[in-house]
Amino acid sequence: MRKALVAGNWKMNGRAKVNGELVAQVLAGLDAQVDSDSVDVMVFPPSLYISQVKGLAGKEIGVGAQNLCEFADGAFTGELSAGMLSDAGCNAVLVGHSERRSMFGDSDARVAAKVKAALAADLTPVLCLGESLEQRDSGEALNVVAEQLRLATEDLTVEQIARLVFAYEPVWAIGTGRTATPEQAQEVHAYLRGQLQQVDAEVAAKARILYGGSCNPANAAELFAQADIDGGLIGGASLKANDFVAICQAAG
């Protein structure tokens, strides 16, 4: 009942020329190999390139931003608001990516404010949740992600929570080449869905929960075969057209 979603997080990579080539190759690959009825595909380029990518991507690939400011307008030098991202053609925005949390001070409170700002501008927040290696090793993974989820959504209505996409991204698996096993990922996804069930059974059943963390063509199919994994948030592998298309195919 849940349509898979594969989202490519380009992080701070790309230039106009390579973006054009990458999008063209991904489009051709999707056309040839991926059933668009069974998987939605999105990319999250650096904000400067959103308009470029939007222009090239057509209807087949949704375009989102990697970050937003929690405020609507004003004296926030260097920031971009949800309204501006929407103007540029975004449908979605990553919120709470672990790199933002650890390097740019995105606290749980700021993450919650960003989720609200995104919803107010009709953007789909892709809420990223995940534990550190230390937290996993001390048996706290489930509690950590549940608390991140609670703090990001506690002021939202059920209707608003229904508009979110979730991404479980164990920090120790991001960009490390070390992937969570399908069993480890499924355990957390099922737990998160259980937390959502306490909010609303229908919202929980429909929520798309993506896995992110060193996902690649070799491990994607097994991860996506898990009952509560509805696709992936893909970093490094989204910069290689063949790998990204293969991951999309594995989700379809």
Query: Which residues are part of the catalytic machinery?
Result: 97, 169
Cβ proximity to ligand PEP, 213 vs 231, nearer residue: 213
* Contact assessment for residue 34 and residue 3, using Cβ atoms and an 8 Å cutoff: no
Cβ proximity to ligand PEP, 117 vs 128, nearer residue: 128
Beta strands in the chain (DSSP E): 4-9, 39-44, 61-65, 92-95, 124-129, 165-168, 209-212, 231-234
Helix (H) or strand (E) holding 215: none
Cβ 144 to ligand PEP shortest distance, Å? 17
The gap between the terminal CA atoms of the chain, to the nearest Å, is 13
17 annotated as a binding-site residue: no
Contact residues toward ligand PEP (CB under 6 A) are 9, 169, 174-175, 212-215, 233-237
Nearest-5° Cα angle at 196, 195 to 198: 70
Beta strands in 25-132 (DSSP E): 39-44, 61-65, 92-95, 124-129
Cβ 104 to ligand PEP shortest distance, Å? 14
Cβ 233 to ligand PEP shortest distance, Å? 5
Cβ proximity to ligand PEP, 119 vs 215, nearer residue: 215
10 annotated as a binding-site residue: yes
Cβ 234 to ligand PEP shortest distance, Å? 5
d(CA 166, CA 57): 23
As a 3-state breakdown, the chain gives helix, strand, coil percent values, each rounded to 5, of 50, 15, 35
Residue 238 has, within 13 A of its CA and on its CB side, a CA count of 23
Cβ proximity to ligand PEP, 45 vs 235, nearer residue: 235
The pair of three-digit structure tokens given for residue 39, joined into one six-digit string: 């998987």
Helix (H) or strand (E) holding 86: helix 82-87
Which residue sits closest to ligand PEP, CB atoms considered?
235
Cβ proximity to ligand PEP, 169 vs 199, nearer residue: 169
Q: Is 36 helix (H, G, I), strand (E, B) or coil?
A: coil
Cβ 8 to ligand PEP shortest distance, Å? 9
Binding residues: 9-11, 175, 214, 235-236
Binding residues for substrate: 9-11, 175, 214, 235-236
